[in-house]
Amino acid sequence: MASSGTIAAHGPSRAPAAARVDWVDYAKGICIVMVVMMHSVLGVELAAGGTGFMHVAVAFAKPFRMPDFFLISGLFLPLVIDRDWRTYLDRKVMHFAYFYVVWVTIQFGFKAPAFAAETSWREVGLLYLESFVEPFGTLWFIYLLPVFFVVTKLTRRISPPAIWLIAAALETARVSTGWTAIDEFCARFVYFYSGYLFAPYVFALSDRARSHPAWALAALAAWALVNAGLVAHGASEWKIVSLVLGFAGACAIITAGTLLARAHWLNFFRFCGEHSIVIYLAFFLPMAATRTLLLRTGIIPDIGTVSLIVTIAGVLGALVIWRIALRLNARFLFERPDVFWIAPKKAGPVLQAAE
């Protein structure tokens, strides 16, 4: 596994050209587990009408959970942003659009009977069509990523500091239109664009953490105390503070991922990062099934324990579904078939950790 390497350039034009980057997989693994944890815990608590000990972990991660995911998603964009539009749209739009269509259809297949019981099958059909305008459920992340990729390429000739300041202002403005794509774009684009714009500094941060692990651990401890304190007092939701905590948390996860990669510890997170798209697409099935089973049977009375089990089931269950799909030759669930490619597959080095 290649390490990050040092970036010499000081602009959004250079990044490591390794096949994979170890700490990126660790960081993505931590992020995807936190995403599953959030949906699992809040879902259990909503259904049970109470909170458990896992609620604290979800609250702690809230300031940085999605900022870090989006920042890493933009990290390798400098390597591919100069591709021709056909190839770029294939890799950065068709790739995610395909999985969105497949999995929004699967989710609807499971939820349609309940929707129809509450309204009608006609309303279910309209709701399905609406999901292509208003992202459905947990899939809003892969709905929004292509938008970020296209906007970044379209605005490439505009002053990067100006774009960054506008993006930061949008996050601070707390835009709330009721439309997920618009609201989340305003809240998250600054992190994605920062991953693209400041990639050299991100890799330099990782290099320093790898070279000075003791200092990195001390910095992580200080960050954890500050983040926990601000969350506990409600200050993490304040304007500007939320932006700062988003970037601070992203740096913390990058540092943690680097230290884990350096020590070769907790390889499960690395594996989850390598297969983060698999987990993201499929975790809702085992998560919902386990939650329903445990709450209906009441075999485990503690809400926190139920939340923890549901989180584990969501992560592991998604990986099991992936392995079953491969064995049953249902690769289309997690691999885009050739018919849905609009550009040749070989278009220079592809960084799996980023794409």
Q: Print pLDDT tens along the chain (355 aa).
A: 333 332 233 334 344 444 578 999 999 999 999 999 999 999 999 999 999 999 999 999 999 999 999 999 999 999 999 999 999 999 999 999 999 999 999 998 888 888 888 888 888 889 899 999 999 888 999 999 999 999 999 999 999 999 999 999 999 999 999 999 999 999 999 999 999 999 999 999 999 999 999 999 999 999 999 999 999 999 999 999 999 999 999 999 999 999 999 999 999 999 999 999 999 999 999 999 999 999 999 999 999 999 999 999 999 999 999 999 999 999 999 999 999 999 987 644 443 433 3
Contact between residue 327 and residue 342 where contact means Cβ atoms under 8 Å apart = no
d(CA 294, CA 291): 5
- Report DSSP state, residue 333: G
Distance CA 276, CA 273 (A): 5
pTM greater than the 0.85 cutoff: yes
Q: Report the C-alpha gap between 290 and 284 in whole angstroms.
A: 10
User: Residue 223 is encoded by which pair of tokens?
Assistant: 């960050």
